[in-house]
Structure 1
Amino acid sequence: MLTVEQALQTLLGVVRPIQDVEEVETLIGNGRVLASAMTSSMDVPPRDNAQMDGYAVRATDCQDGNVLLPISQRIPAGYTGVTLQQNTAARIFTGAFLPDGADAVVMQEQCSVEDSNGQTMVRIRHQPQTGEWIRRKGEDISMGATLLEAGTRLRPQELGLAASVGLAKLTVVRRLRVAIFFTGDELTMPGETLKPGAIYNSNRFLLTALLQNLGCEITDYGNVSDNLADTRKILREAAIRHDLILTSGGVSVGEEDYIRPAVAAEGNISMWQIAMKPGKPLAFGEIRRTDSNLDTAFFLGLPGNPVSSFVTFLLFVRPFLLRLQGVRDINPIRIRVRADFNWSKADKRNEFLRVRMNQNGGLDLFHNQGSGVLTSTVWGDGLVDVAPGCTIQAGDVIDYLPFHALMY
């Protein structure tokens, strides 16, 4: 059996990132992957501007900390003022461009408006320093700067950054095309009558939603009967137009498990057992699209138990899909958190326990860690990574992998 790290490195070592790109509007780019670096054609801010509401002045005109100046102009955001004359002040608002001649902004709380012989004046009760309350031109972004590297997965903040430099469209990697199907004559869809010995196909819903979270285009071939010929037929058909074929069930060594021989017949299997719990059986290989072994679709076969399928997707399928899109940073977030439970069952395999963070900042353990107990994934908010042969005592600081960082 391979270790978790060996299995993951084997997967990532054979990835061929897709090269097809497309242009999308920035407004709908959430979750997409940049195909080329994003550079700025402008400074942000484009000019010096006011950091808050107040009065734009020449600092040298306010050296005594109590001066009365005429208000020469009013500059709201979106408007450009005229050159500020010596010994005058300009009423200015947050974000408005600083007029030429001004070199400081005095916040309005340090000023008061007065009338002097019919003229509106402002009393400056502060001695400003040059540059005070001013956002300098280009202090956020300078013209020509690289904002984001190719392989960046776009989140709302990256889209906001692109919009801040006027980018209406972005060049991104096309969406991944993933085919899914499920094996097992016992599988039944919700809404259908559950016959004796049958179970509802929860993995179909679980894996579809996880793929949707990663922005994949999904073709669902549904349930495939437990026979070799049908499994091979679906593999051939799915390989033609998909980047990855993902299955659930049938990857063990039983007489009714047909995934392994079917993949071997239509391509090759590179690995299929990992020293982990849950999720020991995992198939990886490639399916020929043509008679040439150089033109293939990737294949990943997950175990049938729902928790095993869920955990192996998070730890292997997700990083594999991200790397297929050219994403640079695929390492899961690991947080060092205190355990508020004991785990004395050391195992020779790498275990991933379902836990939940409590109000005291520690981790609680779900009472049943079975690979078929899907409620543990709903109750929990993450996994604890337990190395082979290790136990946990309450108070130990351990590696916690939050679900929210593994599902998108």
Structure 2
Amino acid sequence: MTTAQHAPAGRAHNARSVADHRAAVTDLLAPLAAESRAEAVPLPDALGRSLVHGLLAPLSLPPFANSQMDGYAVRSADIPNGGTDLRIMPPVPAGSTPQPLEPGTAAPIMTGAMIPVGADAVVPIEKAVPDHFLPEGTVVTLPATAPGTYVRTAGSDIPAGERALAARTCLGPAQLGLLAALGLTEVEVYRSVTVLLVTTGDEVVEPGRPLPDGKIYDSNGTLLEAAMTQAGLRVRRAGISTDNPAELQALLRAEGRDSDLIVTTGGVSKGAYEVVRQAMAEQPVDFLHVALQPGGPQGIGTFDSVPFLGFPGNPVSCLVSFEMFLRPALSALVGAPAPRLPLRARLDLEGQTQQLTSPGTKHQVRRGSLRPDGTVRLEGGESSHLMHALAGSNVLVHIPEGVTELAAGDEVEVWML
């Protein structure tokens, strides 16, 4: 029984809901689902991409009735209850075209080999007497068997003309294997989304360079580039922009014109030196607060007609923003990347605290480790700078808006990372 505590209805003043902001991101990126973005690629290059159109099977799978076992192909009506002796015909190896099965005979057949005309069942070699293959013309004793036993009928996987895959299916190994089994060598998929990724801030230094006092190394660029690349996006890094709005504008104009989307990190809050806000002053961009923790400050709009998303500057915040808004928007529009798999788990708070608390006016996303026994342990606190805790996590833990307290054993939704 859950012990979750719920807050009265309501939301932080002027905050947009997570669902509404996700819908706004989806609307912004809707042109990415245009059929003009389709391209035909070889199957190996389609991994992680999504189909533009549904596909009908051009042939049946399997294309012919075949044996599920090594054994003897038989006519079931030839074998009475109690079994009988049958004369052995020429063997049927996989890939061959067998001769028709004569009455009162059995044909040695290998797994995957075509069922001879006249046969309707297969007796496994282990049930034969003797339990090994004999030469043609000799006699084998076989037990009675029902029609269809160990026979894979033509089209039993998928018949010709049936839908093999739906439009916007994300193509993984199994889907590509199916297309290959159907004889296809290429497939029409959506063109990969090209993202210009820009980190902002005078305080940020590229890893590998000297670290002066008051500076930090840029983790956001690597974190988001890895997340986006893993999700199938094509990422272009434009380095680190200073806190000079004119320099940021120049960088975006020079690097962003051939991009499908611009994503920045940092500079979207209400502080005195929010460079992204300043650089977007004359662009149709909204800066707002979403009822999300971490990841509340967000920017959305277009820069010189290129779709733009401004994520917060703390590393966990920018990753949560990607997972909560950009990833699901692309999944909904074009089917790739595949959406995160939601699971239910029970909180394990041993050694931490007796309760998990959350602001009732926000959707809180915590980091955690899902264990084989179905419990999840929180990693770190709710702060958005805890990279070490994030690196030790394998799930995002969701505490919905309106829930203020959860106790050990309470059930939560988690997303596998």
The TM-score with structure 1 as length reference comes to 0.92
Output one character per residue of 1:158-185: Cα deviation in whole Å (capped at 9) or x when no partner.
Answer: 0011011101111111111111111111
Q: SS of the counterpart of 2:129?
A: strand
- Deviation of 1:62 after TM superposition, in Å, equals 0.6
Match of 1:383 in 2: 396
CA contact (8 A) 2:49 2:337 kept: no
Q: Which residue of 1 aligns with 2:182?
A: 165
1:237/1:118 CA distance change after superposition, 3 Å: closer
**Structure 1 residues 260, 330: closer, same or farther in 2, change over 3 A?**
farther
Q: 1:330: how far off?
A: 6.1
In the TM superposition, residue 225 of structure 1 has moved relative to its aligned partner by 1.1
Shift of the 206–112 alpha-carbon distance from structure 1 to 2, 3 Å rule, reads: same
**Unaligned regions of 5+ residues in structure 2, if any?**
1-14
Cα pair distance change 1:108/1:397, threshold 3 Å: same
Residue 268 (structure 1) aligned with residue 281 (structure 2): no
Hey, what does 2:19 align to over in structure 1?
5
Q: 1:48 to 1:146 in 2, by over 3 A?
A: same
Match of 2:156 among 132, 139, 157: 139
Q: Is residue 2:265 matched to residue 1:245?
A: no
> In the aligned structure 2, how far is the partner of 1:210 from the partner of 1:397?
27
Secondary structure at the residue paired with 1:112? coil
Q: Is the 8 A contact 1:323 1:330 kept in 2?
A: no
Q: Does 1:123 align with 2:131?
A: no
- Counterpart CA distance in 1 for 2:380 and 2:317 is 17
8 Å contact from structure 1 (residues 226, 257) kept in 2: yes
> Match of 1:400?
414
Query: Share of identical aligned residues, percent?
Result: 33
Cα deviation, residue 117, structure 1 = 12
| Corresponding residue SS for 2:202 | coil
Residue by residue over 1:21-75, the C-alpha shift from the partner in whole angstroms, topping out at 9 and shown as x without a partner, is 2111112321011112122111111111111111001111111332111111101
Call closer, same or farther: CA 1:21–1:279 in 2, change over 3 Å: same
Cα shift at 1:12: 1.4
Aligned length in residues: 393
Residue 312 of structure 1: aligned partner:
321
**Aligned-pair distance for 1:100?**
0.3
Q: Give, in whole Å, the separation in 2 of the partners of 1:248 and 1:357.
A: 29
What is the alpha-carbon root mean square deviation over aligned residues?
A: 2.0
Counterpart of 1:122 in structure 2: which amino acid?
V
Instruction: Provide the C-alpha distance between the structure 2 equivalents of 1:220 and 1:118, rounded to a whole number of angstroms.
Output: 69
**Does the C-alpha gap of structure 1 residues 132 and 115 become closer, same or farther in structure 2, counting only changes over 3 Å?**
closer
Distance between the aligned counterparts of 2:285 and 2:135, measured in 1?
Answer: 92
Q: Tell me whether 30-39 or 96-105 shows the greater mean CA deviation.
A: 30-39
Structure scoring higher RCO (CA < 8 A, sep ≥ 6) equals 2
Q: Distance in 2 between matches of 1:323 and 1:192?
A: 40
2:307 corresponding residue in structure 1: 298
Paired residues of 1:340 and 1:362 also in contact (CA < 8 A): yes
1:50-109: CA deviations, max 9, x gaps? Answer: 111110011111113321111111011111100000001000011100000101111111
CA distance in 1: counterparts of 2:266 and 2:398, whole angstroms: 24
| Contact 1:369 1:376 survives alignment (8 Å) | no
> Any idea what the Cα deviations from partners look like across 1:259-295, whole Å, max 9, x if unmatched?
1232242x3113431111111111111122xxxxxxx
Q: 2:355 aligns with which of 340, 343, 352?
A: 343
Q: Tell me which residue corresponds to 1:281.
A: 297
- Whether the 8 Å CA contact 1:263–1:285 is kept in 2: the answer is no
Aligned to 2:42: 25
How many Å separate the matches in 2 of 1:215 and 1:258? 29
Number of the residue aligned with 2:335? 327
Kindly tell me: are residues 321 and 121 of structure 1, through their superposed partners in 2, closer, same or farther at Cα, counting changes over 3 Å?
same
Partners in 2 of 1:323 and 1:152 — Cα distance?
11
Which ranges of structure 1 fall in alignment gaps of 5 or more residues? 289-295, 404-408
Is 1:374 aligned with 2:387?
Answer: yes
Residue of structure 2 equivalent to 1:293? none
Deviations 1:295-351 (A, max 9, x none): x21101111111111111111121233345x22896543212111224342313211
